[in-house]
Amino acid sequence: MENIIFIGHGSPRKEANNLETIGNLLHKIIHPGCSNQCVKVAYMQFAVPGIAETIKACADSGAKKIIVHPFFLSSGMHVTRDIPEMIDKARIAHPDVEFIYTEPLGVHEYLAQIVLCRLREAAFATPEDIEKRSFEIIGDEEDLSGITPEQASVVKRVIHATADFEFRKTLVFHPEAIKNGVAAIRAGKDILTDVEMVKTGINKRLLEQWGGKVICKIQNSKFKIQNSKNKTKAEMGIESALKENNNIGIIAIGNAPTALLKIIDLLNNPHYASRITHHGPLVVGVPVGFVKALESKALLSTQRFPFITNLSRKGGSPVAAAIVNALLKMAEKK
């Protein structure tokens, strides 16, 4: 069995002793899927575990080869004298173990690339600068040709929220979706969400300038517990809100496929549809999960009323909020 030991200097500042993060990343790269702790960390001083005790732990666990890497930039006294002396003592204590001592980080072209990356990051100090650069990166790395500029704006914001480029291929738009969504916002229509996380993620400042508000009824006191085995709290909250509020212009579902199925059912009922609003609301349906999530979105993609959805198991509250925020940005620019 082979073990690798990362050795760092250690610091009196506890949060600076985070070498375990590098160790875990390396372990996943060289031993993908391995559940053993093959890569360990140790510190020269100020932090635990120490080098000697880490070497002993490796030997006691059956390691026949121990590779020691000094996680230092240069070959100072620790690298050239202190650590080698500890390894020499370990060879005497554990004669049946092979020890390999590597060079420190030293001068390497990849280090220059890391420095360059840090320099570029420093140029984007404000949230606005970071967002702008993020969208530029998305545009550089993903081909957004073949869709309208408005759809591309939605796709970019979803990828920005998830770092998942798969949404470029799975997002589906009704031809009138973006037009109706922007019009609803500018007309002061309200936005209904299935869960509080979607509500929290929506930019209230951009919405309120048009007079609209975000509504979520899942926390309504009447729905603290489910009153029926056939209905979820999100589903009951959605149904209640649609009955009480006829100013809803956008319905955003990020969590509950049952709520999305209820919306589809209600919007296909002429009685309910006429009470909800004078024009068809935009339904943003992107629930995440394995049970009914994809099925509900596939059904939504066949509807005649405006919708935005994605045909995969992926989705969630951040995706729903990102889509709505993209519409809010478009409404502001128009």
**3-class secondary-structure state, position 219:** coil
* φ, ψ dihedrals at 287, nearest 5°: -65, 150
Distance CA 22, CA 26 (A): 6
Is the distance from CB of 311 to CB of 297 less than 8 angstroms? yes
Dihedral Cα 311, 313, 318, 320, nearest 10 deg: 40
Which residue is catalytic, options 9, 27, 31, 160? 160
94 in active site: no
Residues 6 or more apart in contact with residue 243 via CB below 8 angstroms: 272, 275
How far CA 89 is from CA of 4, 38, 42, 56, in Å, comes to 18, 22, 16, 11
Task: Please tell me the distance from the alpha carbon of residue 273 to that of residue 263, in angstroms, as a whole number.
Answer: 10
Residue of 269, 261, 213, 282 whose CA lies nearest to 243? 269
Specify which residues 250 forms β-bridges with.
Answer: 191, 282
Torsions phi, psi for 213 (to 5 deg): -140, 165
- Asked whether 300 and 264 are in contact (CB, 8 A), the reply is yes
Neighbours of 133 (CB within 10 A): 14
> Is the separation of the CB atoms in 280 and 260 below 8 Å?
no
Q: Which residues are known to be catalytic?
A: 160
